[in-house]
């Protein structure tokens, strides 16, 4: 009998700000797949349940996912933290309830059906790992993520792992025009209806390159592996896509991109550098927008997370931008800049390293982006891609706006 797989958020979800303002942790991308899809692939045929923050549960209902519903398995349930990347298959059967540990840290557990009464929840409906208190430890292999830059720094490795799992290397199913160059073709997958125009170079020598169905790579673009290009995405003329880059579905990307993740429905069509960054959905970078990802003194980059500056422990940290945020032409971002949801950043000079949600302006001053105008723009952008904002998504954006307004008033 198969057990339920329950993927849960914990109180560290807010550490992935601003990306988790509008989505649960399990929807974040790393490699070719979301964190949940990485987990689910190891549990084929098992029923999947999600435990998320209250606001996220309301959004998931619109995608026909009934989150925070108690498991009702025939034989027990496995619980795994959504920010954990499991790197091994678990046993099909457990003879007792256990807690999963990595280096002494709890990342989940298994409860026999009789022990499901141990389930505990805390503030904001968050699943509590106190559920597993006192249970024997069962060591598992994997990586526990803590901050958004962890996704970026692991991306190259995860593209390789996901490519190996999918197992489609060497399949060239799309249309290649003359003078397209494929290096290490066994490390390249080109999906059905993808189109590669003259002068394109796909370099799989340093890592795999996966180009999804319907993608278009325009003339003289270069893509270096490991890299992932999502469905119906366009890589613009002469683009330079370096290794460690994931570009999700329905994006338009030009210029220079290195070691970055574009979640999906994101635009960076023009010249400019994006490095060691993560862009949320419905973002747009104006022409010649650039971000720094390395300090001139080569010191570790500090990043604003959850009302404090956190030392990333890394020299290479770029831009983290929440959903529906945009930049004007020639915008430049300092190393480790964080931009909230629904921001419109423009103007001369460097803007602050933390730009709160619903900010209108930049380095020369800013004001609050009015909620109705922001929603009007967001709806228009989504409709251009044949998507509609759901009532739950709108309600969530209104809550983010109110929280940003309250925080600003308290800081005055």
Does residue 93 have a pLDDT over 90?
A: no
| Full strand arrangement of the beta sheet holding 278-279 | 188-190, 209-211, 227-229, 245-247, 261-262, 278-279, 320-321, 338-339, 354-355
Structure tokens at 56: 């996220």
Whether 89 and 126 map to the same domain: the answer is: yes
Whether 128 and 204 map to the same domain: the answer is: no
Whether 210 and 265 map to the same domain: the answer is: yes
Residue 35 DSSP symbol: H
The vertex-54 CA angle with 49 and 60, nearest 5°, equals 50
Instruction: Please report where in the chains the tokens 């700000």 appear, as a residue.
Output: 17
Helices (H), 117-188: 148-153, 155-166
What is the predicted pLDDT for the residue at 412? 31
Average pLDDT over residues 251-262: 99
Separation in Å, CA 408 to CA 53, 98, 367, 401, 405: 24, 45, 11, 11, 5
209 or 117, which is more confident? 209
Residue 284 DSSP symbol: B
Whether 219 and 105 map to the same domain: the answer is: no
Q: Are strands 105-111 and 98-102 parallel, antiparallel or unpaired?
A: antiparallel
Phi first, then psi: what are they for 166, rounded to 5°?
-65, -40
* Boundary of a domain, candidates 121, 146, 171: 146
**What is the rounded distance in angstroms from the CA atom of residue 266 to the CA atom of residue 409?**
31
The pLDDT-based confidence of 411 (bands split at 50, 70, 90) is very low
Residue 365's DSSP bridge partners are 362
| Residue in 34, 249, 159 with CA at minimum distance from that of residue 7 | 34
Whether 161 and 15 map to the same domain: the answer is: no
**What is the rounded distance in angstroms from the CA atom of residue 76 to the CA atom of residue 142?**
22
Sign of the Cα pseudo-torsion (86, 152, 354, 405, in order): negative
Whether 225 and 205 map to the same domain: the answer is: yes
| Residue in 120, 140, 136, 139 with CA at minimum distance from that of residue 128 | 120
The pLDDT-based confidence of 409 (bands split at 50, 70, 90) is very low
* Boundary of a domain, candidates 146, 162, 177: 146
Lowest mean pLDDT among 41-45, 176-180, 341-345: 41-45
**What is the rounded distance in angstroms from the CA atom of residue 357 to the CA atom of residue 322?**
8
Does residue 92 have a pLDDT over 90?
A: no
Instruction: Please report where in the chains the tokens 């010249």 appear, as a residue.
Output: 271
Instruction: Please report where in the chains the tokens 């500090």 appear, as a residue.
Output: 302
Whether 188 and 130 map to the same domain: the answer is: no
| Residue in 149, 213, 212, 222 with CA at minimum distance from that of residue 183 | 222
Whether 11 and 130 map to the same domain: the answer is: yes
Residue 112 lies in domain? 4-146
Rounded to the nearest angstrom, the gap between the alpha carbon of residue 48 and the centroid of all alpha carbons in its chain is: 20
Instruction: Count the residues in the chain.
Output: 412
What is the predicted pLDDT for the residue at 169? 93
Whether 239 and 362 map to the same domain: the answer is: yes
Whether 157 and 96 map to the same domain: the answer is: no
**Domain containing 102 — which CATH number?**
3.90.550.30
What pLDDT, in 10s, does the model give residues 210-244? Answer: 999 999 999 999 999 999 999 999 999 999 999 99
Element (H, E) at 392: helix 391-411
**What is the rounded distance in angstroms from the CA atom of residue 182 to the CA atom of residue 315?**
32
Q: Find the farthest-apart pair of alpha carbons in the chain and give their distance in angstroms, rounded.
A: 64
What integer best gives the mean pLDDT of the chain? Answer: 95
Backbone torsion region of residue 265, taken as left when φ is above 0, otherwise alpha when ψ lies between -120 and 50, otherwise beta: left
Does residue 408 have a pLDDT over 80?
A: no
What pLDDT, in 10s, does the model give residues 48-89? Answer: 999 999 999 999 988 778 788 777 767 789 999 999 999 999
Whether 195 and 344 map to the same domain: the answer is: yes
Number of domains in the chain: 2
* Boundary of a domain, candidates 146, 174, 195: 146
Residue 216's DSSP bridge partners are 195, 234
**Domain containing 156 — which CATH number?**
2.160.10.10
Q: How many CB atoms lie within 10 A of CB 151?
A: 23
The pLDDT-based confidence of 1 (bands split at 50, 70, 90) is low
Whether 139 and 165 map to the same domain: the answer is: no
Instruction: Please report where in the chains the tokens 């601003």 appear, as a residue.
Output: 18
């Amino acid at each position: 009998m198969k057990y339920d797989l329950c993927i849960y958020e914990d109180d560290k979800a807010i550490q992935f700000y601003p990306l988790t303002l509008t989505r649960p942790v399990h929807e974040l991308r790393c490699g070719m797949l979301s964190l949940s899809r990485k987990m689910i692939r190891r549990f084929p045929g098992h029923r999947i349940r999600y435990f998320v923050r209250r606001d996220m549960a309301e959004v998931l209902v619109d995608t026909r996912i009934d989150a925070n519903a108690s498991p009702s398995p025939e034989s027990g349930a496995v619980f795994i933290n959504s920010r954990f990347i499991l790197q091994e298959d678990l046993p099909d059967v457990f003879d007792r309830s256990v807690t999963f540990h990595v280096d002494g840290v709890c990342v989940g557990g298994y409860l026999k059906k009789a022990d499901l009464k141990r389930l505990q929840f805390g503030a904001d409906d968050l699943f509590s790992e106190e559920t597993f208190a006192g249970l024997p430890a069962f060591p598992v292999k994997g990586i526990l993520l803590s901050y958004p830059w962890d996704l970026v720094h692991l991306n190259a490795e995860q593209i390789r792992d996901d490519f190996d799992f999918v197992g489609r290397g060497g399949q060239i199913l799309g249309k290649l025009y003359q003078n397209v160059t494929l290096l290490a073709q066994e490390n390249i997958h080109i999906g059905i209806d993808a189109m590669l125009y003259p002068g394109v170079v796909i370099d799989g020598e340093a890592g795999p390159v996966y180009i999804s169905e319907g993608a278009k790579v325009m003339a003289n673009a270069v893509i270096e592996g490991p890299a992932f290009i999502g469905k119906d995405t366009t890589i613009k003329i002469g683009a330079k896509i370096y290794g460690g880059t994931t570009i999700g579905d329905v994006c338009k990307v030009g210029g220079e991109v290195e070691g970055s993740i574009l979640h999906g429905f994101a635009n960076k069509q023009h010249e400019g550098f994006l490095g060691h960054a993560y862009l949320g959905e419905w973002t747009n970078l104006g022409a010649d927008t650039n971000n720094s990802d390395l300090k001139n003194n080569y010191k570790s980059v500090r990043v604003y997370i959850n009302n404090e500056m956190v030392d990333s422990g890394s020299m290479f940290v770029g831009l983290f931008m929440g959903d529906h945020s945009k930049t004007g032409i020639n915008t430049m971002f300092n190393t480790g800049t964080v931009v909230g949801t629904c921001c419109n950043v423009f103007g001369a000079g460097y803007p602050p390293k933390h730009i709160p949600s619903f900010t209108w302006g930049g380095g020369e001053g800013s004001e609050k982006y009015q909620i109705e105008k922001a929603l009007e723009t967001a709806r228009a952008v989504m409709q251009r891609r044949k998507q509609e904002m759901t009532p739950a998504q709108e309600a969530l954006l209104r809550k983010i706006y109110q929280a940003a307004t309250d925080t600003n008033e308290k800081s005055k």
